[in-house]
Amino acid sequence: MTKCLQVMRMALLTVGAFAFAIAVHAQERSVAITIDDVPNVSLFAADGQSSGLLQKLDSLNLPVAIFINEGHLKQNEHFEQNRKLLESWISRPYVTVGNHTYSHPNYGDIGFDAFKDEVVKGEELTRKMAEKAGKELEYFRFPFNGMGKDSAEQARMQAFLTESHYISTPFTVESEDWLFTQLYEKALREGNLDEARSIGNRYVDLTLKLFGHFEQVAMKVTGRPVKQIYLCHDNRLNTDYLPALIQKLKEKQYSMISLADAMSDEAYQLPLYYHGNWGFSWLYRWVKDPAVRRSLMQAEPSDKEAQQAYEALTKSKK
Ligand SMILES: [Zn+2]
């Protein structure tokens, strides 16, 4: 065989192996859906004391984990109805329960003692409701996914959480749904339904691109597919577009798994190499070399137009 043919044969073998790897990995796509900042009491009040998202989830037949801010119950004058809303979230058999602090502070801003109080205050009702539903309250997620300013602060809070029997909950994929929902709700308020629909579709499209991106990052960082954890929020956008997103993910052969199943992936035992307070994906935190991490982050798909519209919106509100 000539050198040239040999090279071609090697190339074909590599392509073949790669295609095989993709085919195998396509079977292995899985994700746990996690919803933060539950319950959204202003949406609940605006919709006549009903949660559209909870109703949609009832018919989607998949496990979800929720991260609760009990402080939300007092955000308006309907405490009793809000309390019942939280109880109905927690009582759903498909729901895994998590604490997300009482009032959603950033640990890096308020320090150890104040944050510790927030963790404890955040579980008062939730723990009782979880017990009543026959569930454990074992998951915790940091607001903004900020785990502290430096490794000492991070280790100190981690020790407290472990001592309190909490599992600190990571995520791998998120898609700025908190930003899109602001634009979406503005369009709805203005009666601009075409614009609202376009924003909803762009949210779904971007999220799918991000799943593709993080699949690749997982391959680069761990050498294999990782059981993904998607982070989104209890908001109007997900009420209307999470079902479409789930459908598209299923079309991409994703299976919807519980948070416990996702976290059984050994990837979640990998050491973290990032010890700042930014709230980015755990896939990036597992990267040792900061330059490699930066280049992976720079390759992340984004929707610049939505970001600019959001900036303009927040400026006009000031
Ligand atoms: Zn949050």
pLDDT tens column, 134-157:
999 999 999 999 999 999 999 999
In this prediction, residue 12 carries a pLDDT of 52
Distance 103 CA to ligand 1 centre (A): 9
Answer whether residue 10 shows pLDDT above 90.
no
Neighbours of 243 (CB within 10 A): 15
In this prediction, residues 246-262 reach a mean pLDDT of 98
Q: Name the residue among 110, 103, 116 with its Cα closest to residue 75.
A: 103
In this prediction, residue 27 carries a pLDDT of 54
In this prediction, residue 28 carries a pLDDT of 86
Answer whether residue 129 shows pLDDT above 60.
yes
Q: How far from chain centre, in Å, is Cα 169?
A: 10
How many angstroms separate the CA atoms of 229 and 283, rounded? 10
In this prediction, residue 31 carries a pLDDT of 98
In this prediction, residue 133 carries a pLDDT of 98
Which residues, at least 6 apart from 231, have a Cβ–Cβ distance to it below 8 Å? 34, 36, 145, 171, 173, 174
Answer whether residue 4 shows pLDDT above 70.
no
Answer whether residue 2 shows pLDDT above 90.
no
CA dihedral over 120, 98, 212, 245, signed as positive or negative = negative
Distance 69 CA to ligand 1 centre (A): 8
Look at the block and give the residue holding tokens 């059984």. 264
Answer whether residue 50 shows pLDDT above 70.
yes
In this prediction, residue 139 carries a pLDDT of 98
Domains (range + CATH), the chain: 30-317 (3.20.20.370)
Full-model pTM: 0.91
Distance 175 CA to ligand 1 centre (A): 13
In this prediction, residue 317 carries a pLDDT of 80
Distance 26 CA to ligand 1 centre (A): 31
Distance 161 CA to ligand 1 centre (A): 17
Confidence tier at 77 by pLDDT (50, 70, 90) = very high
Distance 18 CA to ligand 1 centre (A): 38
Distance 36 CA to ligand 1 centre (A): 5
Distance 276 CA to ligand 1 centre (A): 18
The amino acid at 109: D
How many angstroms separate the CA atoms of 65 and 53, rounded? 13
**In Å, what is the CA distance from 282 to each residue of 49, 107, 145, 216?**
36, 18, 10, 14
- Per-residue pLDDT of 216-227, as tens digits, reads 999 999 999 999
- Per-residue pLDDT of 200-216, as tens digits, reads 999 999 999 999 999 99
Q: Give the chain's end-to-end CA distance (angstroms, integer).
A: 72
20 versus 132: the higher-pLDDT residue is: 132
